[in-house]
Amino acid sequence: MPDESLLDLKAVTKRFGGVTALSSVSFEVSKGKIVSVIGPNGAGKTTLFNCISGVLRPEEGQIGFGLKKTRDSLVGCAPHEIARMGIARTFQNIRLFGQQTVLENILTGTYVRTEAGLLDAVWPWTRRAHQESHWAMDKAMRLMERLEIDALADRPAKALSYGQQRRVELARALASDPEMLLLDEPAAGLTVHERQALMDFLRALRQEGLTILLIEHDMKVVMPVSDWVVVLDHGAKIAEGTPDAVQRHPQVIEAYLGVAAL
């Protein structure tokens, strides 16, 4: 049986003034797979994530999410609606509430799944009530233990190391119980040991059925964990395939000329 696609991009185009950041990009992401998006700086990778997560609206094209029978169109939906549909993300530049504790940051992720909604996260009284909710606390605790940040639960996020902050962001994204996770350069700034732990963690998430779309520059991370790789260059898809096939693709080698890792 062929893989079922969970995300389906068709001819997605996004322009910023004269710059075409994405030029008619099409590809599918199969359910339960790790698909990586690679490409040089400015290739349009983060713009692609912004279009999928509703931060930006593409000028042209379609983005379908969900298995075929129940597929929704994401274009025109607000970020909180897309989050509720089951897509969570992390950011290239970590975006945590620095003054809030690790636990509070992760709890904000659970709001997506409650009736209260994300806006209530800013109201202290609702926030307190929510934090006392057994369900949300339990979820946050389990995620912190899993990511080995439980000892840091009461520390303000800004006091953490870079690698620890990345793990808090990951926990916050997972707290919304997503079906698909979008990770924008999750290995950037991590130590060799942290990178290995991240790769093991991504594989474990895949094993549990999560679908992951990963932007990553480090080919030592991309190649071993990915089931499929999509290559962007100057906003256009220049190749896609298995990690092995993509590494041997002449246009990919050309786009990466000077990048020793390939």
Ligand X SMILES: Nc1ncnc2c1ncn2[C@@H]1O[C@H](COP(=O)(O)OP(=O)(O)OP(=O)(O)O)[C@@H](O)[C@H]1O
Footprint on this chain of ligand X (rule: CB under 6 A): 16, 19, 21, 39, 41-47, 92
Smallest gap, in angstroms, from Cβ of residue 234 to ligand X?
Answer: 8
Minimum distance, C-beta of residue 169 to ligand X, in the bound complex (Å): 16
Cβ atoms of 171 and 183 closer than 8 Å: no
Tell me which of ligand X, Mg ion, none is bound by residue 183, counting a contact when its beta carbon lies within the kind-specific cut-off of 5 to 8 angstroms. none
Q: How far apart (Å, rounded) are the C-alpha atoms in residues 51 and 142?
A: 31
5 interface partner picked from Mg ion, ligand X, none, CB below 5 to 8 A per type = none
Q: What is the dihedral of CA 166, 168, 213, 215, to 10 degrees?
A: -10
For residues 46 and 226, which CB has a smaller minimum distance to Mg ion in the complex?
Answer: 46
How far, in Å, CA of 239 to CA of 42, rounded? 17
| C-beta closer to Mg ion: residue 106 or 181 | 181
Q: How far is the CB of 45 from Mg ion (least distance, A)?
A: 5
Q: How many Å separate Cα 249 from the centre of its chain?
A: 26
Q: Among residues 9 and 143, whose Cβ is nearest to ligand X? A: 9
Residue 215, token pair as written in the block: 């932007």
CB 131 to Mg ion: min, Å: 33
The listed partner (Mg ion, ligand X, none) that binds 130, CB under 5 to 8 Å by sort, is none
CA-CA-CA-CA torsion sign (214, 217, 221, 222): positive
d(C-alpha 72, C-alpha 104), whole Å? 31
Tell me the residue number closest to Mg ion, measured at CB.
46
| Pairwise CA distance, residues 102 & 18, whole Å | 41
Residue 118: which of 61, 176, 160 has the closest Cα?
176
Asked if 46 touches Mg ion (CB under 5 A), the answer is yes
Residue 41 CB, nearest approach to Mg ion (Å): 8
Toward ligand X, which CB reaches closer, 92 or 100?
92
Q: How far is the CB of 52 from ligand X (least distance, A)?
A: 12
Pairing state of beta strands 228-233 and 60-65?
unpaired
Give the residue with the Cβ less far from Mg ion, 38 or 160.
38
Q: Which two tokens stand for residue 141?
A: 């605790």
Query: Which of 46, 53 has the CB closer to Mg ion?
Result: 46
Binding site for Mg ion (CB under 5 A): 45-46, 92
